[in-house]
Amino acid sequence: MSKLNQLSLREAAEGLKKKKFSSVELTKNCLEQIDKADKQINAFITLDKTALNQAKEADGRIASGNDSPLLGIPIALKDLFLTKDLRTTAASKILENYIPVYDATVVRKLKEAGVVILGKLNHDAWGHGASGENTNFGPTKNPWNKDYVPGGSSSGSAASVSSDMCIAATGTDTGGSSRLPAAFCNVVGLKPTYGRVSRYGIIAMSSSLDSIGHLTKTVEDSALFLNITAGNDPQDPTTPNIPVPDYTKSLGKSIKGVKIGVPREYTTEVGGLDTEILSLFEKTLKELHKLGVEIKEISLKHTEYANACYYVIQPAEVSSNLARYDGIRYGSARQNFGEEAKRRIMLGTFTLSAGYYDAYYKKAMQVRTLIKNDFEKAFNEVDAIITPVSPTPPWKIGEKIDDPLKMYLSDIFTVTANLAGIPGLSVPSGFTKNNLPTGIQILGPQFSEERLFQVGYAYEQATRFFERKPNL
């Protein structure tokens, strides 16, 4: 029984090119896996009935000599990405019947590259969450242990890639929503530099923080994917006109002598940092040291205020971005927003309101400047920064759902990259005693994704955590 769905993107692309198998076969294997596993995992909201037709078409293009790197590769899209004629729900009751009339720019680019879209993935509704539990379509389970959360908000993306239902998946990252679930599911999650990938056609959460990313099985896959999605978009005025390099070129280059900063505010100075997380992180540092990296302790002194800063700016922008959902032109009435969405709308409306704007929103925008400056200063001393992705390993489903503030605290290591607009790559860093995955993130200056891939690849190849598969 063929298990082509277990291949990485590069392996699948190579196999298709060498005609070892067809896109139809590859797609069939993915669909079989979805059929087998998704009832328990619940990663998908909508399956695209045209998937096999898309695969047939891709096979046709391959046969005529087209060797585009993503051609014929079955992927899935987080359900915030608008797909023309294919239901897009934002995992919310409000849009449960919504059929978009246009494709997101990223979707158009992926279609042009010849991917096979398997369907739309479950996530915390509107991007609000770190566990995958805030969805109207039932929580997604962690393939490594179904009693545990897969992380969020890109829960379906991480779970589907991790359980080989698809070869790769798109995600978004506003405060860690691609990096955290990647770490919790033993896959690679990229948060690109803000503006590196177009936001046009992706349901907005927090406009100045939203980053359009993806989840893959390996670092190389992540680089291949970014090659397609990155680039200036005239329909998104926050995408600079910076050329897109071949992100795979830096892979395999030695990382000897690369200076890596470890901020004490993410390790020794954090209250509540899980001991297992800390010890796995120390193992990571040892591994990097073996690879010739120079590790230096640094300080990002405003880190402790980052989460508070994030939870003022983000809900404010959310409250404005969700104002268009008034049920008139599309969607259902505003009562149908889930609890988390309502909470953020209320919080955001309050902090922007008369008399409170200066004390909250303006203040937070000033603290944001300080956090951004911390990173800029740090990158004068080091080439990259490494931290754990999450202060804790995956938690049990239902454990944090009743305490919103507790849930918000899971973001403390990831929100800083969004506030500063810098890229972050989450790579698997090993398993806890309970066999739950963890991850570390590599952060770099704006538009330094090549450097992140270089470091991530070296570490990944030395540790090979990607070889482990969950028991489904």
Partner 1 sequence: MKIDVKHVAKLANLPLSSKEEKKFEKQLSSILDYVEQLNSVDTKDVGITSQVTNLENVTREDKPDLSLDQEEALLNTKSKHNGFFKVGMILDNE
Partner 2 sequence: MTPVIGLETHVELKTNSKMFCGCSADYFGQKPNTHTCPVCLGLPGALPVPNKTAIEWCVMLGMALNCDIPQFSKFDRKNYFYPDLPKGYQISQYDKPFCVNGNITLQNGKRIGITRVHMEEDTGKLIHENVSGEDVTLIDFNRSGVPLVEIVTQPDFDNAKDVIDYLKKLQQIVRYLGVSNADMEKGDMRLEPNISLRKNAEKELPKYKVEVKNINSFSFVEKAINYEIKRQTEILNDGKTPIQETRGWNQAKQKTVTQRVKEEASDYRYFPEPDIPPIHWTKSQISNLKFQIGELPEEKFKRFERDYVLSNYDAEILTRETTLADYFEETVDLGKKHGLSAKQVANQIINKKTEIDKILPAQLILEIIKLTVKEDIDKDKLRKIVKEVLEKNPKIRNDYKAGKKNVLQFAIGAAMSMVGKKIDTKELIKIIMEELK
Residue 121: name the closest of 206, 214, 209, 187 by CA: 214
Catalytic position from the list 22, 23, 92, 153: 153
Annotated catalytic residue within 22, 28, 78, 141? 78
Q: Which does 317 bind (CB under 5 to 8 A by kind): partner 2, partner 1, none?
A: partner 2
| Contact call for residue 208 and partner 2 (CB under 8 A) | yes
Q: Does 199 bind partner 2 (CB under 8 A)?
A: yes
Instruction: Give, as ranges, the residues between 123 and 152 that touch partner 1 (CB under 8 A).
Output: none
Residue with tokens 């998937």: 51
Q: Closest approach of Cβ 357 to partner 2, in Å?
A: 7
Cα–Cα distance, 388 to 264 (Å, whole number): 11
* The two structure tokens encoding residue 267: 């390790």
* Strand blocks (E) in 158-243: 168-173, 188-191, 211-216
Binding region for partner 2 (CB under 8 A) out of 20-28, 193-201, 396-404, 440-448: 193-201
Q: What does 199 bind: partner 1, partner 2, none (CB cut-off 5 to 8 Å by kind)?
A: partner 2
Give the shortest CB-213-to-partner 1 separation in angstroms.
Answer: 16
**153 catalytically annotated:** yes
Q: Which amino acid is at 327?
A: G
Question: Distances in Å between the alpha carbon of 137 and those of 5, 258, 338?
Answer: 25, 44, 11
First to last CA, the chain: 16
Q: Does 341 bind partner 2 (CB under 8 A)?
A: no
User: Taking the complex as a whole, how short is the minimal distance between the CB of residue 165 and partner 2, in angstroms?
Assistant: 25
Active site annotation includes 78: yes
3-state SS class at 423: coil
Q: Give the residue from 127, 60, 55 showing the smallest Cα distance to 91.
A: 127
Reference 128, options 206, 188, 43, 181; nearest CA is 206
Is 320 one of the catalytic residues?
A: no
Contact of residue 346 among partner 2, partner 1, none (CB under 5-8 Å per partner type): partner 1
Smallest gap, in angstroms, from Cβ of residue 341 to partner 2?
14
Burial of 146: CB neighbours in 10 Å, binned 0-12, 13-18, 19+ = middle
Within 353-382, the residues that bind partner 2 by CB under 8 A are 353-354, 357, 361
Nearest to 109 by CA among 236, 230, 7: 230
Give yes or no for residue 347 binding partner 1 (CB under 8 A).
yes
Question: Are β-strands 384-388 and 259-263 bridged in parallel, bridged antiparallel, or unpaired?
Answer: parallel
Query: Whose Cβ is closer to partner 2: residue 143's or residue 348's?
Result: 348
Kindly name the residue from 154, 157, 163, 177 that is annotated as catalytic. Answer: 177
Q: Which does 204 bind (CB under 5 to 8 A by kind): partner 1, partner 2, none?
A: partner 2
Catalytic residue numbers? 78, 153, 177
